[in-house]
């Protein structure tokens, strides 16, 4: 496993220097030199003299230097300053990579974001303030700007989203952080809406923050989710719900700009996505997911969608 740890700092620093390990699928982290010199102190994850910040931000990145640069730049402007950034650049199962970040984080709060998000200056402050007694996980709006909506099929085909909401979301498609009885997540967090803060049913994959000790206590991310590991984040959220509350906070807002570069190509291989989906469904069946006609219809919907995606019909 190869990663760099970036501590938010205000002195001249080392430029990221990371070798590519043969056969490990690792990549160089490419960002602007001025960004690093002005904003981060760069050191190895194994540095015994690492400080202990309040928050560790884990970013798994591969082949997206432009969007990563925007993400890191946005983090330098945070009003909350006590954080470290752990970059993980190995190509592998996302569930295992995120688990590695969780285990090596030193912050009491660990935030997982994608390498194609932009965090407004008050994002991290909003995350920290949203943790209160009994709260073990925090998520917030993941607004997709209009010009990026076409990068996701569910938004590209409006009729598809309309049917999806009507069939599977129990009439609560406008409620962010909602997870229906058949295991369907609401997409409401992706759209600008009223300032809503409420208890959540799951945490958004590109904007999820957890109490480190609680996440480790429930054994973290399940390594059975493979490749791009869809559903591993929802899986962790459901395990955390057994220890406390999940909270959706309008203060923890970021902008998600879905990228079609880098690891995105792995999403075009849809067999592993079905494996991840059905594993999640079977694992939580009878507890958070109820057996019903709607549940089996939802599974058929996902299978047909992935089959059509594999055949390049959509």
Residue 106 has pLDDT above 50, yes or no: yes
Which residues, 6 or more positions from 194, have their beta carbon under 8 angstroms from its beta carbon? none
Please give the pLDDT value at position 150.
78
**Alpha helices, DSSP H only, in the chain?**
33-39, 65-76, 94-104, 123-130, 153-156, 158-168, 212-217, 232-240, 271-284, 293-310
- pLDDT given for residue 4 in this prediction: 47
Calculate mean pLDDT across residues 25-41.
59
Residue 8 has pLDDT above 50, yes or no: no
CATH code for the part of the protein at 3-310: 3.90.550.10
pLDDT of res. 11: 35
Report the alpha-carbon distance of residue 135 to residue 138 in Å, rounded: 8
**Among candidates 92, 105, 102, 103, which has minimal Cα distance to 5?**
105
Q: What is the pTM of this model?
A: 0.89
Average pLDDT over residues 193-217: 93
Whole-angstrom Cα distance, residue 264 to residue 313?
Answer: 18
Name the residue ranges covered by the structural domains of the chain.
3-310
pLDDT of residue 124: 97
Residues counted in the chain:
314
The pLDDT, as a whole number, for residue 219 is 98
Q: Cα separation of 167 and 296, whole Å? A: 12
How many Å from the N-terminal Cα to the C-terminal Cα in the chain? 35
Residues 106 and 89: their CA atoms lie apart, in Å, by: 19
pLDDT computed for residue 156 by the predictor: 67
Residue 29 confidence (pLDDT) above 80:
no
- Per-residue pLDDT, averaged over 100-115, amounts to 96
Q: What is the Cα–Cα distance from 223 to 96, expressed in whole angstroms?
A: 6
């Amino acid at each position: 496993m190869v990663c760099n740890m970036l501590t938010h700092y205000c002195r001249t620093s080392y430029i990221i220097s990371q070798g590519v390990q043969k056969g490990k699928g690792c990549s160089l982290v490419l960002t602007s030199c001025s960004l690093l010199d002005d904003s981060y102190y760069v050191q190895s994850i194994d540095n015994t003299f690492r400080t202990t910040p309040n928050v560790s931000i884990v970013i798994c990145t591969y082949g997206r230097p432009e969007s990563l640069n925007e993400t890191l730049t946005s983090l330098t402007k945070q009003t909350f300053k006590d954080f470290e950034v752990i970059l993980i650049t190995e190509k592998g199962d996302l569930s295992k990579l995120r688990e590695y970040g969780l285990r090596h984080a030193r912050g009491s709060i660990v935030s997982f974001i994608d390498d194609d998000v932009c965090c407004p200056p008050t994002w991290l402050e909003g995350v920290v303030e949203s943790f209160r007694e009994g709260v073990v996980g925090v998520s917030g709006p993941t607004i997709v700007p209009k010009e990026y909506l076409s990068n996701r099929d569910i938004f590209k085909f409006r009729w598809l989203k309309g049917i999806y909401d009507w069939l599977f979301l129990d009439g609560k498609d406008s409620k962010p952080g909602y997870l229906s009885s058949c295991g369907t997540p609401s997409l409401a967090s992706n759209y600008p809406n009223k300032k809503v803060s409420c208890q959540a049913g799951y945490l958004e994959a590109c904007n999820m923050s957890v109490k480190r000790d609680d996440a480790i206590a429930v054994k973290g991310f399940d390594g059975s989710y493979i490749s791009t590991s869809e559903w591993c984040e929802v899986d962790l959220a459901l395990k955390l719900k057994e220890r406390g509350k999940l909270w959706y906070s309008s203060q923890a807002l970021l902008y998600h700009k879905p990228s079609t570069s880098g690891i995105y190509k792995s999403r075009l291989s849809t067999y592993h996505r079905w494996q991840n989906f059905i594993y999640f469904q079977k694992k939580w069946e009878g507890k958070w997911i109820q057996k019903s006609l709607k549940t089996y219809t939802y599974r058929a919907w996902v299978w047909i969608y992935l089959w059509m995606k594999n055949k390049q019909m959509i």
